[in-house]
Amino acid sequence: MNAVPIETVPIESHGVNAVPARFASVCLPVPVRTAFTYSVPEGLAAGLVPGRRVRVPFGPRTMAGWYVGPADPPEPADDGRRVEAKEIVALLDDGPLLPPELVGLARWIADVYACSWGEALSACVPGGVKSETAEATVNRARLAIPADEALQMAATMLEKHPKRARVLRVLAQHADGLAVRDLEKAALCGPSPVETLAKKGLLALEKSGLGLDPFDGAEPEPPAGVSLTAEQEHALGAVTAALDRGASAGFLLHGVTGSGKTEIYLRGIRRAVDAGRQAIVLVPEIALTPQTVARFRGWFPRVAVLHSALTDAERRRQWKEIRAGRADVVIGPRSAVFAPVPRLGLVVVDEEHEPSFKQQGTPRYHAVDVAAERTRRAGAVLLLGSATPSLESRHAADEGRLALLRLRSRAGAGTMPRVEIVDMVEEAHAVRRVTLLSRRLVQLMDQAFRGGKQALLLLNRRGFASAMFCGRCGGTLRCGRCSIAMTLHRSHGSVLCHHCGDERPVPSSCPECGGPGLTRLGTGTERLEETVRAVFPAVRLARMDSDSMHDRADYERVLGAFGRGELDVILGTQMIAKGLHFPGVTVVGVVSADLGLQVPDFRASERTYQLVAQVSGRAGRAEAPGRVVVQTLQPKHPALLRAAAHDDDGFARDELAERLKVGWPPFVKLVRAVVTARTDEAARARCAEVADGVREAIPPGGGSVLGPSPCAVRKVRDRCRWHAVVKAADSAVQHAATLRLARFAHRAGGTELTIDVDPVEMT
């Protein structure tokens, strides 16, 4: 085994090896940016195809890696002694998991996002597909005791075993049990609390392989058979012309909510499929609903859905079907951009502005940028769609890198809703107290309910109170491991850290000064629920946030009931803002538009604008006109005024001018380096070294480096955080800075360095 820089490894120059290679380049999923040379045993040479996984010795153990091509014999060591390459132990799978196209794309990812080629290759393939013993079943857990007993036990366990308490609490909400995977996610824990409770006989673990695919049940929805509007015709014409040319092209479909963008996607895909090519449709995970899938299934019989509820065996089977070209359309979240379709024709990215298209672990890729690169390589068409495009995409359209297609009005029934901004400072003066629901919003909800209509309320924070404050010492209750306030979750009787998930019983006195009683500050969805129930005692209501929604089935249950008119209101976090299409909704309330504006991130305005515009788009999707109330302490904030006026161009113009002036993307390219350490000083010192190092890589006039400075969230899980941010004038400088950063060790002296290229999170 010895290392060669990946830049020197040839790929795509050889399909099937003419002469069996004696040495192989193998990439391993370790954070070392080199390929390793192994020798090829006689019997294995014939099966070596780039993209195939192999088992190789690595250090004291063996590891699965990726064969990427032949290698030169190892160089002699410095003292002239011959270096023996270790042998490949075995070939894995029954062929290459990845086609050459994706092997090349992975190298591009490694290069751009400063990870190893092996890490990028591994990210291209979902976990279940790689597991050598793909399970046909999913482990499920259910309570072995009655739910009320479980809740009581949870309350008594909270002090000593918060994780076990959470597991019981989550299960108490699911009479049918829950996939262990989802349970652990919902309870913010690993396997051990679940196992402990199972040993104690409080819950039962069982295997289940049935009825887990929520998309199988969805009846295909036949095409609506609408005739396109002139704007739609024009947009579709541009897309199909590009498909017919067979060269790569990129489009930004900017259409207001309900303008018929999906009709364009479907018809564009039809054109690609008719030409014998496949399409990939990326949607934010939360918008991947049976309704969405049903619409695609109505048009195309062979639709594969890559989603998190699949068993490993199912995932593996789907992967093979997709590779064999037996799926015309693949729908999925971010990672579906790697679906190994053999003849890619079109990639659609719906809601392209969504931050969830950026991966937050290694490799930190952005699915929109990967889709752009993949379509470029494949001679395919990229179609980005949004009602509120990201400023990056708008700028790309301004510069002609994407062709802009506009849909300015709603298709079919439905007009844009009227949006009113309510000043909550004035409201508080008028009613002589701080309120959650303004009189105007209450009035509109009341009218809606009387007329048998429905409402959606957005409050982008869960819990009951966002902080607990001591009147005596003036302190706020903080997480011991993170530098943030603990949120009160009254229904759990606990305070919770939204960063690390640490949970404690509500203290009866201030832990700092012993002062009696803590005051609740701020608000959350739990409190909103209480308020709405108090104002409308007969209301049929569901809350949608990550405390109440644990798996896809929860989500479907609530949306199903809402669609059938069995609920009057859904209130929740941003979960409710995405893609919901319910004709009965005539009122939308944004309860506190300020939450997002306070975030110390240069995109705070853009995010708030998008959220308000998106959730407003849920109102008045049918004949009945919609009304939107935006409650805020900053009624003059430009993002809110523009959202209220449905003035997307105005917002983009002002915000782009501001970004240009201050020097933020899309006018500069960012690389963020985050250093964490046990002590603040260690993090600062290492971050200073890193910042100085990267400064040297920036040519005069090529950009600047901000920092080192403490991150906005200064400590998470006992790790102190500092960062430096490179503002590069162009991609070349950005890349040079990235390469320089990659020279610093990922781990050094107890510090850890994360490199984030084109970051979407700045906190």
The residue ranges that bind ligand ADP (CB under 6 A) are: 224, 226, 228-229, 232, 255, 257-263, 411-412
Q: In this complex, which beta carbon is closest to ligand ADP, that of residue 351 or of residue 551?
A: 351
Closest to 714 measured CA to CA, from 600, 602, 604, 546: 600
479 touches, from ligand ADP, Zn ion, none (C-beta below 5 to 8 Å by class): Zn ion
Residue 55's Cβ-count burial label (10 Å; 0-12, 13-18, 19+) is middle
DSSP states of 467-494 as a string? Answer: EEE-TTT--B-B-SSSSSBPEEEGGGTE
482 touches, from Zn ion, ligand ADP, none (C-beta below 5 to 8 Å by class): Zn ion
127 touches, from Zn ion, ligand ADP, none (C-beta below 5 to 8 Å by class): none
**Amino acid letter at 574?**
Q
Min separation Cβ 714 and Zn ion, Å: 12
Rg, the chain, Cα only: 27
> Which one among 125, 421, 497, 677 touches Zn ion, defined by CB under 5 A?
497
758 touches, from ligand ADP, Zn ion, none (C-beta below 5 to 8 Å by class): none
| Cα–Cα distance, 290 to 313 (Å, whole number) | 21
Min separation Cβ 396 and ligand ADP, Å: 20
Beta bridge partners of 179: 140
Residue nearest to ligand ADP as judged by C-beta position? 412
Q: In this complex, which beta carbon is closest to ligand ADP, that of residue 292 or of residue 751?
A: 292
Min separation Cβ 499 and Zn ion, Å: 5
At 566 the three-state DSSP class reads coil
481 touches, from ligand ADP, Zn ion, none (C-beta below 5 to 8 Å by class): Zn ion
The answer to whether 117 and 35 have CB atoms below 8 angstroms apart is yes
| Cα–Cα distance, 300 to 273 (Å, whole number) | 9
Stretch that binds Zn ion, among 170-178, 437-445, 492-500, 588-596 (CB under 5 A): 492-500
503 touches, from ligand ADP, Zn ion, none (C-beta below 5 to 8 Å by class): none
614 touches, from ligand ADP, Zn ion, none (C-beta below 5 to 8 Å by class): none
Task: Please work out, in degrees rounded to the nearest 5, the angle formed at the alpha carbon of residue 304 by the alpha carbons of 302 and 306.
Answer: 175
Min separation Cβ 500 and Zn ion, Å: 3
Q: In this complex, which beta carbon is closest to ligand ADP, that of residue 27 or of residue 387?
A: 387
Cα–Cα distance list, 239 to 249, 378, 718 (Å): 9, 16, 51
Instruction: By CB under 5 A, tell whether 502 contacts Zn ion.
Output: yes
Task: Please work out, in degrees rounded to the nearest 5, the angle formed at the alpha carbon of residue 460 by the alpha carbons of 456 and 463.
Answer: 105
Instruction: By CB under 5 A, tell whether 482 contacts Zn ion.
Output: yes
- Which residues, in sequence order, are CB contacts of 143 under 8 Å at separation 6+? 150, 168, 171, 172, 177, 202, 203, 204
| Cα–Cα distance, 81 to 71 (Å, whole number) | 19
Q: In this complex, which beta carbon is closest to ligand ADP, that of residue 409 or of residue 491?
A: 409
Stretch that binds Zn ion, among 84-92, 281-289, 457-465, 480-488 (CB under 5 A): 480-488
Min separation Cβ 287 and ligand ADP, Å: 11
DSSP 8-state code for residue 8: G
Min separation Cβ 251 and ligand ADP, Å: 14
Q: In this complex, which beta carbon is closest to Zn ion, that of residue 275 or of residue 500?
A: 500
Q: Are strands 585-590 and 627-632 parallel, antiparallel or unpaired?
A: parallel
Min separation Cβ 504 and Zn ion, Å: 10
Q: In this complex, which beta carbon is closest to ligand ADP, that of residue 387 or of residue 671?
A: 387
Min separation Cβ 192 and Zn ion, Å: 19
**Amino acid letter at 392?**
E
> Which one among 161, 499, 504, 714 touches Zn ion, defined by CB under 5 A?
499
> Which one among 500, 535, 541, 656 touches Zn ion, defined by CB under 5 A?
500
Q: In this complex, which beta carbon is closest to Zn ion, that of residue 390 or of residue 476?
A: 476
Instruction: By CB under 5 A, tell whether 467 contacts Zn ion.
Output: no
Min separation Cβ 622 and ligand ADP, Å: 9
411 touches, from ligand ADP, Zn ion, none (C-beta below 5 to 8 Å by class): ligand ADP
Stretch that binds Zn ion, among 271-279, 479-487, 665-673, 720-728 (CB under 5 A): 479-487
Q: Residue 495 has which token pair?
A: 């305070």
Q: In this complex, which beta carbon is closest to ligand ADP, that of residue 23 or of residue 582?
A: 582
Min separation Cβ 382 and ligand ADP, Å: 17
232 touches, from Zn ion, ligand ADP, none (C-beta below 5 to 8 Å by class): ligand ADP
DSSP states of 527-556 as a string? Answer: HHHHHHHHHSTT--EEEESTTT--SHHHHH
Min separation Cβ 715 and ligand ADP, Å: 41
Q: Residue 586 has which token pair?
A: 């005539």
Closest to 359 measured CA to CA, from 328, 336, 389: 336
DSSP states of 645-686 as a string? Answer: TT-HHHHHHHHHHHHHHHT-TTSSEEEEEEEEESSHHHHHHH
Min separation Cβ 485 and Zn ion, Å: 10
Residue 203 CB neighbours (<10 A): 24
> Which one among 35, 479, 580, 624 touches Zn ion, defined by CB under 5 A?
479
Q: In this complex, which beta carbon is closest to ligand ADP, that of residue 13 or of residue 227?
A: 227
Closest to 453 measured CA to CA, from 583, 575, 330, 266: 583
Residue with tokens 């040839």: 10
Instruction: By CB under 5 A, tell whether 481 contacts Zn ion.
Output: yes
- Which residues, in sequence order, are CB contacts of 648 under 8 Å at separation 6+? 254, 256, 387, 388, 613, 642
Task: Please work out, in degrees rounded to the nearest 5, the angle formed at the alpha carbon of residue 200 by the alpha carbons of 196 and 201.
Answer: 120
Q: Residue 200 has which token pair?
A: 């104690």
Min separation Cβ 299 and ligand ADP, Å: 12
499 touches, from Zn ion, ligand ADP, none (C-beta below 5 to 8 Å by class): Zn ion
Enumerate helices (H) and strands (E) in the chain, giving the number of each. 22, 32
Which residues lie near Zn ion (CB under 5 A)? Answer: 479, 481-482, 497, 499-500, 502
